[in-house]
Amino acid sequence: MIAQDNLKTNPLTSYQIILIVLFVFIIFTIVVDYMTLPALSAILLPKLQITTKEFGFVVSAYAFSAGISAFLATGFSDRFDRKNLLLVYYGGFLLGMLLCATANSLLVLIIARIVSGAFGGVVAAVIFAIVADLFHKDQRGRVMGFVQLAFAASLVAGLPLALYLATNFNWRLTYWIFFLFGILIFSVVIFKVNPIKTHLNNASKDQPLTHSLHIVKNRDYWTVFLNNIFLVLGDTMYMTFGSAYSTNNLGVGLDKLPLLYGAGGLAAIVLSPLIGRLSDRYGKFRLFTIGTVLAIVLVAVYSNLAHVPFWLVVLLHTFLFIGINARMIASTALATVVPEMHDRGAFMALDSSFQQVAGGVAATAAGWIVYQAADGMIHGFPSLGWTVIGVMAITIGLMYLIHRIVQRRK
């Protein structure tokens, strides 16, 4: 029988609440930046006079840059005040956003995306390390529930706002607005966040490369890495061609796509804090399993639909979002318990590196499984669905192993 994590949970302090709000806003700006560029493809192709192949390289530049940067960060991320690391990486990300706002050629845009990925790809890892340092393990489900609001808010508010600004004014204005918003957040971090140095008391004395190898050799850590790799593989594979499948195969109009994704994002906003609290109270593995089973059922149904009423597509798509959201909240909260304090920064950085690369591989793999016919129909989506279901099933086993690791350490 799976034990509950803790029936009594520690209340959040006012300082912890401030940190959570800052984390939500920081990740919100990064997610909006990541999602906006692909959404602006119809505008940027003629504006910058670039081909679809060149634009694909621009998009992939972020993921590979983020993966390389996160891997390099493993050697030194536990040797510095985490507040300073957050400021450096978030500041570098804002520089990349500024370069995007001023880009006037393909080369400058590629450089901008490399800079954005090199810094922005590590920010979440630093934040999760701070969460592990400053929040008790029975608070982390709630924290991750609130952090997930950033992803939901990007769908409901961030991306629609970015598209509205780009369509009605200028695509550069999108980046200027979010750059200025990011500067405001950066300033608040400077003045409101205290130094975070507790982990330095137990910092590894090894050289950076030796410390990185120590992380790589830890079998418990690899269980988490593999689980998160498969999480990103499954979710990204399915979402890569989700909009094309909905419009061409299910008959959803382009004008209804914001409503389709907005409904899922709104459900995530409403339910993420509740899912986080439930994972703290009744067990993160239990909530993860429920979310995964829900997602598997919805993937099986959704990937085999034909033309159906729009309300049914919205309903199924929204519940799929809920299942995926529950998986991410519970898995991230449980994974923060595994690394030792002196390894947390390096662990999170390496984990982020693997996830970034997995995202790029997943999008490529999805392109191998499905194809678009001359009439626009997406073929092979049922096969993609069954592949994703297999990947999701693997994560249940890996999450059970992580749960056992945490229980053993208790």
pLDDT by residue for the chain (410 residues), tens only, comes to: 344 444 456 777 888 888 888 988 998 898 888 777 765 655 666 677 766 556 666 767 787 788 788 777 766 666 778 888 899 999 999 999 999 888 888 888 889 989 998 898 888 878 888 887 788 777 767 777 777 777 767 766 776 677 677 767 888 888 899 999 999 999 999 998 888 877 666 555 555 556 566 677 778 888 888 998 999 888 878 876 776 777 778 887 767 777 787 787 788 778 877 887 888 788 888 899 999 999 999 999 998 887 888 889 889 988 998 898 888 888 887 777 777 766 766 777 778 778 877 876 776 777 778 776 777 677 888 998 999 999 999 999 999 998 888 887 66
Looking at residue 204, the DSSP 8-state letter turns out to be -
| Cα→Cα distances 204→73, 79, 128, 199, 211, Å | 14, 8, 19, 10, 7
Any idea of the CA torsion for 9, 150, 89, 159, to the nearest 10 degrees? 180
Token pair for 198 = 């507790």
Please give the pLDDT value at position 7.
44
pLDDT at 386: 94
**Cα gap 149→272, rounded to integer Å:** 7
Domains located in the chain, CATH noted: 14-192+202-409 (1.20.1250.20)
Q: For residue 6, what pLDDT is reported?
A: 47
283 SS3 class: coil
Is residue 322 a contact partner of residue 390, using CB atoms and an 8 Å limit? no
What distance in Å separates the CA atoms of residue 344 and residue 94, rounded to the nearest whole number?
Answer: 25
| pTM for this entry | 0.69
Q: Which two tokens stand for residue 262?
A: 């907005």
- In this predicted structure, what is the pLDDT of residue 211? 59
Residue 282 confidence (pLDDT):
82
